[in-house]
Amino acid sequence: MASGILPETQTMSGLRPGRFGAYGGRYVPETLMAALEELEQAYIEAQEDSAFQAELSSLLKDFAGRPTPLYFAKRLSEELAGPNGGPKIYLKREDLLHTGAHKINNALGQGLLAKRMGKRRIIAETGAGQHGVATATTCALLGLECIVYMGEEDMRRQELNVLRMRLLGAEVRPVTSGSKTLKDAVSEALRDWVTNVRDTYYILGSALGPHPYPTMVRDFQRVIGLEIREQILAKEGRLPNAIIACVGGGSNAIGAFHPFLADKEVHLIGVEAGGRGKRLGDHAARFDGGLPGVLQGTYSYVLQDDDGQVALTHSVSAGLDYASVGPEHAMLHDLGRAEYTSANDIEALEAVVRLARIEGILPALESAHAIAECVRVAPKMGPHDILVVNLSGRGDKDMGILARELHLQGAQGE
């Protein structure tokens, strides 16, 4: 079968290539199949190539700023202590990475792979713009042409990132179909790829899409979890009781979770976007209302209606505003190995304010969903517990939304 890409996955999921239990696979137009097979092969070779790995490690360290700190959030821990004494809360500071989010881990990995494959034209989709910025940055660094598809609605709400991408030399193409958000940007990127497949590399930004993307993106993001393990062992001499991460497509979460899958005592919590309500169309909580189905190349949980039409979604955070979820999360959900909860728009906004004021850290709206879950669970934990929250990105990009939603003008000092 294809690939010793990841032995852990294969033992958990049986033998079909690119499958995570029942989920994953490849559901694409035939035209893309040769390219996906070529990509899988190139990825396997790159993994075994020490020169490739050394170049990636060097860029992650000197260009992107790895390792990122595992920061003990003392004041947050005190505030959330609750009746039981509360855990020590650590924040994995992916927000301190170059370009401001974990997305650069994957963009650098795939960018190097594209270069190795001799593909000079890069396309990408973006929701919040963080993957687009990371890809534009990588392309500037490696001298590659860069085209980023972005929903018109997302361009409006994440305008700062649009400007950053343009400054970095990327072309940002507005997507006007459907809900004009991440899902539509993925479709448009796939349409570009199917048209220009012979000379184009598609840097997909999350652990989504057809095989080998969910596995490959997960592998490029595993560095998050590997560092958490090393750092928490150095600081505390043991593994954490729980790790919390937000889940849009789920790349930061799977990167943080994956090195701990075999450590059953580590509770893994993924937080989806609860949006503005429970009705279909008002949220992006795929595990709370979605059903298994096929969207954009992979079999996973999908928010859909009775006819199999994919539902619209809503979240205050563009990066979580997606109707499906990475297939490995679907497997972890069914196995009960990870727990999936949701935080709504208001809880996320409150979490932004709380973290900003108590720790001096402005989280991305996406990452704020993980903070919101931390606010819920920490008071139930004891003083000997350790809780790690993956702070996947910083919130500068969200200032426009925050100013509007939090009425910041004239509200200082409240």
Partner 1 sequence: MALRFQQHPGLVAYLTAGDAGLSPGTPVATAGSHVPAHLVVTREIALAAIDAGADVIELGVPFSDPLADGPVIQRASERSLARGIRLRDVLALAKELRQARPNAGLVIFTYVNPVLRFGLKAFADAAAESGADGVLLTDMIVEEASEYIAEMNRVDLAPIFLAAPTSPEERLKAIAAHSKGFIYAISRTGVTGKRQELAADAAALVERIRRWSKLPVAVGFGISHADHVAEVGRFADAAVIGSAIVELIERSTEEQAPGVVARFIEGLRQLHPAQAL
Q: What are phi and psi of 246, to 5 degrees?
A: -75, 155
Stretch that binds partner 1, among 48-56, 118-126, 266-274, 296-304 (CB under 8 A): 296-304
SS3 label, residue 267? strand
* Distance in angstroms between the alpha carbons of the first and the last residue of the chain: 61
Quote the least distance from Cβ 170 to partner 1, whole Å.
22
3 is a contact residue toward partner 1 (CB under 8 A): no
Q: Is residue 14 involved in binding partner 1 (CB under 8 A)? A: no
Q: What are phi and psi of 272, to 5 degrees?
A: -95, 170
Of these residues, 3, 13, 115, 125, which one is catalytic?
125
Token representation of residue 73: 């959030």
Nearer to partner 1, 27 or 72 (CB): 27
Q: Which of 70, 91, 197, 261 binds partner 1 (CB under 8 A)?
A: 197
DSSP helix/strand/coil, 201: strand
CB 316 to partner 1: min, Å: 23
Out of 183, 218, 333, 369, point to the residue binding partner 1 (CB under 8 A).
183
- The amino acid that residue 77 corresponds to is S
Give the Cα separation of 22 and 205 in Å (integer). 23
**Residue 145: active-site member:** no
* Residue placing its CB nearer to partner 1 in the complex, 330 or 402: 330
- Locate the DSSP E strands across 169-277: 171-175, 200-202, 242-246, 267-275
Among 177, 238, 265, 384, binds partner 1 (CB under 8 A): 177
Compare residues 92 and 283 and give the one whose CB is closer to partner 1. Answer: 283
Question: CB-wise, 142 or 294, nearer to partner 1?
Answer: 294
d(CA 352, CA 232): 25
| Known active-site residue 74 | no
Among 196, 337, 350, 405, binds partner 1 (CB under 8 A): 196
Give the amino acid at 352: V
| Neighbouring residues of 152: CB distance < 8 A, sequence distance ≥ 6 | 174, 175, 176, 180
Site residues (CB under 8 A) for partner 1? 25-35, 177-178, 183, 187, 190-191, 194-198, 291-297, 302, 304, 306-310
Residues assigned a catalytic role: 103, 125, 392
